[in-house]
Every structure is written in C-alpha cells, then in structure tokens.
Amino acid sequence: MSVDTVPTPSSASVPTASQPSPDAVPPEPAAPSPTLPGTPPPRSHIRLTSHAGGFGALPIQWGAATAAERGPVVGTTTKRAHRNVIGTHSGSYSVYRALAVAAGALSPHHKADLTNTSPTDAIGPYPQWSEPGRIVSLDPWGAVVADAFATELAAGYDIRPTIAITKAHVILPEVIEALQSGRLKADGKFLTAGGAAMVTKAAIEPVWYLPAVAQRFGCSETDLRRVLFEETGGMYPELVTRSDLEVFLPPIGGQTLYIFGNARDLANPEVELTARIHDECNGSDVFGSDICTCRPYLTHAIEECIQGAQRGGVGLIAYSRKEGRALGEVTKFLVYNARKRQVGGDTADQYFARTECVAGVQDMRFQELMPDVFHWLGIRKIHRLVSMSNMKFDAITGSGIEIGTRVNIPDELIPADARVEMDAKMAAGYFTPGAVPDAEELKKAKGRGLDQ
Ligand SMILES: [Zn+2]
C-alpha cells in the first residue's frame, strides 16, 4: 500500500488524528526547500502515522546482543516511512521543535550533522544490554548511532542519538565551602584548588520498549497503550492502532548523569562506587528553597562522590527530570499552601496526606524504570548509596544490583523548614541510622507559616 496519498487542500478541513481516515503523508521533497524565519512551512495537510505502511522501516529486535541485530531506533519525522517507533525524539522538547517548524524557523526536513559529536567516553557494551528485561526505558546503543549505524545513515536513514556524553567542570558553592573548611582536598585531578570538579556527563532521552515497560508496572501491554493514549488526550494514535510498533519515545524529561572518576570503573564491582539517584526539584536544587532537603542532599552526594573518586573509586549522580515527585511544580506549590494553611500548621503527620489530597497519590515517580540507567552503565554493585529512599533502594536491589552502605544526609545540612519532610519520611520507613520520630513528635508544627 502506498503511503504517499491525498494531500488535502487546507488544514482546517482535514480529519483530526483521532479520526484516522485518509492516510495523508506528503511526498518527501528531493531536497529541503530553504525556509526563512517567519515564513510558514509549506505544508497544508495533516500527516498521519496511525496506519501501517512504512516501506523501508528497519526492524527493532529489543535486547539483541549487537547494535546491528537490534537495529536503529528511527523516530524521525523527515522520512516518515522509515519510522519504527511511536513518538519522536527529544522528549518534551519535541513540542518546541514543532513550534520552531510552525514558526518557519526550522525546516521540517533538517537532518542533524553529527560530525564531532561522538561520546568522550565509551560506555559498554555490557552483558546487561542484552539480558532479558534488564533495560526497557532507554536505548543502550543511543550514544553510538553514528558509528553503529553508519551504513544506514549513509543510506539516508535519519537516525538520531538518544544519548550524548561529554566532559565538564562543575563548580558549586557547597564544594568550595567544603574545600575551605577542609572536608575536601584539591588534587588537581578530580578537584581543582578553585573548587571545580572534573566530570563526565551524559544526557539520556527516554526510549520505552512497551511490552517490557508494561511488565514492570504489572499491567498488560494493551492496557498500558490504551491508558497512555487516553491520558495524553489521544496524542499518539499509534499506541492503539499500531501494535507492530513496540517502541515509544515518550514526551517526558530524561536523565542526566554526572560521573566523577573513570566511567569504565562503574562496571567494575571491585572499584568502590558512590552513587545517588536524584529526582529533580527546581525550587531547592536551583533556587535554594528551604522547604525540602533536595539541594543539600544533592551537594552532599557530590561531595561524597568527589571523596570516593579521590579514594580510587568512582562517583555517580543520576539526575532524573521528575519534578515534584513527578507531579510537577504546580501541584507541588498547591501542596505547600495546603500544608501551611491547614489547621495546626505544617506538621509531619499530615505531610503525605496533603499531597494525596491535591494529587490523588503521594508520589508518581515510580522507581520501576530507574535502575535501567545503572544497567546501561554495567553496574553490578553500589558500595555507597547516598539516599534515604526505600523505594529507590528496593527498585535497585530488586533489579539485581547489590547495595553496600546507605549514606544518609548529615543532620546539620537539613534546613529548619525541611524538618517536616524529614520527619514524615523517616516515620514512613525511609532509611535513617537515628531515632524514628513517634506519633506525638509528628504532630508538632515545624514548618514556617506562609507569612513568616
Ligand atoms: Zn525538594
């Protein structure tokens, strides 16, 4: 069946994607036409992808042992017949790409020039990459597409990396303070006298293999596809119409890794690994808001990672874009108000209840997919896990990774207003080497009021 059919005269008169009737895919132009900023793109019909018919689409064998057997993930919109996934690249930023095309600032046919973009550090391949069910939410070959799929790229397939790896110096006031107070020592290798820590960093976009993601969440693939379709307002019709497409590039934030020391050492269980998996908290991480312990915990973990590297080990911070327990900042700020305005003030015994009142659940981070990144790095053992979270601990150990010591945040790093959160978490079973607060303790108002 041909896929290049029926360009309709105007976007106002075509069926919407939720009523897929004529499969309208425009012919690919021989060469991209130049587009000037401010000029609308020369497209006047909707392109549907909800019907099979991708001539030339390469198969994906998820979990295959080599890149060649696995096949490339092709989420391009430039050559739609080549697509072998649902959704498109760049996670939530795919919407900005669409805006850039709509505004005429970007040609929809632009292909990335990958010259000189290859990773600074080689990661893998590791046995975990092809162990059944180990990695289901990222593409282990995502950093090396330019090499692994050079032939396909040369043949005109628009294959984009979903992982990028580079080098950086990170400079944090807390690390400089640790240097000044003598907790950290500069060595010129991992940490400069000026307080810059040398890191390798990696950015990872989500790539979901739907059958195995469904398994992780204990639901059927059909139910997962239907609910993803419905709860995104019908954003991806292929979820329910294209069961042959098993890989989904979800429009959500990804992960960033900061590695202190040699990235290859992460896979060596003999080398001491200090690690933290940190979920995004813009208010604290970036702006220093004192209602939670996120930034103090993050910078404490970075200090631990630097010390670990200096002891001959390696450190890892995995930073996930899951703002406000993946509920988002609007919900988070609503909860702050509800906590501080409730009768009796901001108390630990109501901490989780207030979140549940607003959001319907206490937490949407669902750590089920989180350990994938550790398996991508070849990790078998985390010697020092800088985290109090039982959900993270259980997810990591449940995925077959051994954890040695759990490192909690030192008391002196907890801001006064964050005591409510800490007490509530400890009472809920989060890891603490100290005393767990009792019911009376939890009833005491410890958070500031809104006008204080
Ligand atoms: Zn926070």
Look at residue 50 in the predicted model and tell me its pLDDT: 52
Burial of 233: CB neighbours in 10 Å, binned 0-12, 13-18, 19+: exposed
The label of the residue with tokens 């307002």 reads 233
The token duo for 445 is 């108002």
CA of 407 to the centre of ligand 1 (A): 18
Taking the C-alpha atoms of residue 345 and residue 343, their distance in angstroms, rounded to an integer, is 6
Tell how far the Cα of 284 is from the centroid of ligand 1, in angstroms.
5
Which of 265, 262, 264 has the alpha carbon at shortest distance from 190?
A: 262
pLDDT of residue 433: 82
The alpha carbon of 293 and the centre of ligand 1 are apart by a number of angstroms equal to 6
- Ligand 1: centre distance to CA 89 (Å): 28
Instruction: Compute the distance from residue 334 Cα to the ligand 1 centre, in Å.
Output: 14
pTM for the whole thing? 0.87
Cβ burial 288-308 (10 Å sphere, 16+ → b, else e) = ebebbbbbbbbbbbbbbbbbb
User: What is the distance between the alpha carbons of residues 88 and 90, in angstroms, rounded to a whole number?
Assistant: 7
**Dist. CA 6 → ligand 1 center (Å):** 51
How do the pLDDT tens digits run along the chain, 452 residues long?
333 333 333 333 333 333 333 344 444 444 444 444 444 444 556 555 555 555 689 999 999 999 999 999 999 988 889 999 999 999 999 999 999 999 999 999 999 999 999 999 999 999 999 999 999 999 999 999 999 999 999 999 999 999 999 999 999 999 999 999 999 999 999 999 999 999 999 999 999 999 999 999 999 999 999 999 999 999 999 999 999 999 999 999 999 999 999 999 999 999 999 999 999 999 999 999 999 999 999 999 999 999 999 999 999 999 999 999 999 999 999 999 999 999 998 988 888 899 999 999 988 888 999 999 999 999 999 999 999 999 999 999 999 999 999 999 888 888 888 888 888 888 888 888 888 888 888 888 778 888 88
How many Cα atoms sit within 13 Å of 288 on the Cβ side? 3
Q: What is the Å distance from ligand 1's center to 414 Cα?
A: 12
Please provide residue 333's backbone torsions phi and psi, each rounded to the nearest 5 degrees: -70, -35
Distance (Å) from CA 438 to ligand 1 centroid? 23
- The rounded Å distance from CA 100 to ligand 1 centre is 32
Query: What is the rounded CA–CA span in Å between residue 348 and residue 296?
Result: 19
Separation of first and last alpha carbons in the chain:
68
Q: Which token pair is 150?
A: 């050079």
Residues 422, 284, 394, CA angle at the centre, nearest 5°?
50
pLDDT computed for residue 288 by the predictor: 95
Catalytic positions: 363, 365
Order of all β-strands in the sheet with 208-209: 86-87, 247-249, 208-209
State in Å: Cα 324 to ligand 1 middle: 7
> What's the Cα-to-Cα distance from 416 to each of 86, 331, 363, 411, 439, rounded to whole Å?
46, 23, 23, 10, 20
How many separate helices (H) and strands (E) can be counted in the chain?
Answer: 17, 10
| Gap from CA of 54 to ligand 1 centroid (Å) | 45
